[in-house]
Amino acid sequence: MTVFQIGRRFCLWGLSGWMMVVQAQPSDPALGESSVTSAARMPRAAVLSGLGEQALAQRYPEQAVWLDLGDEGRALGLLMPEQRFPGAGALLVLADEGQTADAGVLGPLRLALAERGIAVMTVGLRLPPESVQRSRLVHDGAEERKASGVAGRDDVPAADAVMIDVEAGSPQENAVSDFRDSVRARLNAGFEALLNEGYERPGVIGLGWSADYVTEWAGTASPVAAVIWLAPRFPAQYRAPLSSFRTSGVAGGEGWAVLDLHGSEGRAGEAGRARASALGRAGVTGYQRQGIVLGQPPQAQDAARIASRISAWFRNQ
């Protein structure tokens, strides 16, 4: 790590503490504006993504990092450097679908992990196309009815059955592929930004539905330190292959492990235990499951508890 990077990190650390006190107050034009704040006001495509990125960049100018997505414009990452030294590395956190980089648990989680010596960059994620959401609901609904023992021969309407059996090259398959390409672009850009900050081998966290995206991405990306599933949700059609190809990096000994951090109660707890059983039968190594009390979805009050579990596990990777 260069002297410049170290100096920048100490500077950001000090500014982060000060901004936690005044972040709710509007900025004073008399104090001038940073280059990030000015850039946030530019009418760029990524700023108009519906994720409130312009407002977030103005609210957290000391944390804002614009990520270049190539043809898709740019996306906002919120980076909080570690506040304890020596640090334990960095984590890239992909928000759940439709969430901003500061929604729900993400803002408090950045601070809680930074206080434990882990730098964190959170990145928002737009909703997938409506056809993808509808298909997922059909699969999940059928799965729930099957589990409850009420699914019958006529349980899935014919129209939905056609939608489930997605053909190669169909509009829905293309929509899924395009959305996943967009997600990969965000992860690539965020990972590169952390590398440029001097973090040699960051880990990655997928919140909710993003657990699927980060795991798929990690299998083909630059070496990552670890993959963390936070309150994960997986489409029903991917639950069976999950043990074979979604964790191929772990099973193949590619050098990264998985922490499955899920709610301990109700369906979340049952799903977590089922995943552990499936991965165990598949002989996957490097996987660890931890059930904890979590809101559905995780809330700000869960941040300290989540950060404690993650930091203890991540330091050993």
Running DSSP on this structure, what letter comes out for residue 79? E
Query: Stretch 18-23: mean pLDDT, rounded?
Result: 40
User: d(Cα 268, Cα 63) in Å, to the nearest integer?
Assistant: 33
Pick from 154, 153, 156, 178: which is nearest to 165 by CA? 156
Task: Tell me the pLDDT band of 280, cut-offs 50, 70 and 90.
Answer: confident
Predicted structure pTM score: 0.76
| pLDDT, tens digit, 9 for 90 and up, residues 242-258 | 544 444 455 444 568 89
Q: Is the pLDDT of residue 66 over 60?
A: yes
Task: Tell me the pLDDT band of 310, cut-offs 50, 70 and 90.
Answer: very high
Running DSSP on this structure, what letter comes out for residue 99? B
Break the chain down into helix, strand, coil percent, rounded to 5: 50, 15, 35
Q: Is the pLDDT of residue 5 over 80?
A: no
Edge to edge, what strands does the sheet with 90-94 contain? 64-68, 74-80, 119-123, 90-94, 203-207, 226-230, 257-263, 287-292
pLDDT at 154: 36
Task: Tell me the pLDDT band of 17, cut-offs 50, 70 and 90.
Answer: very low
pLDDT at 144: 47
Query: Stretch 183-197: mean pLDDT, rounded?
Result: 96
**Which amino acid type is present at position 104?**
G
Task: Tell me the pLDDT band of 169, cut-offs 50, 70 and 90.
Answer: low
| pLDDT, tens digit, 9 for 90 and up, residues 113-144 | 999 999 999 999 999 988 878 877 765 544 44
The number of beta carbons lying within 10 Å of the beta carbon of residue 22 is 10
Task: Tell me the pLDDT band of 80, cut-offs 50, 70 and 90.
Answer: very high
Q: Is the pLDDT of residue 12 over 60?
A: no
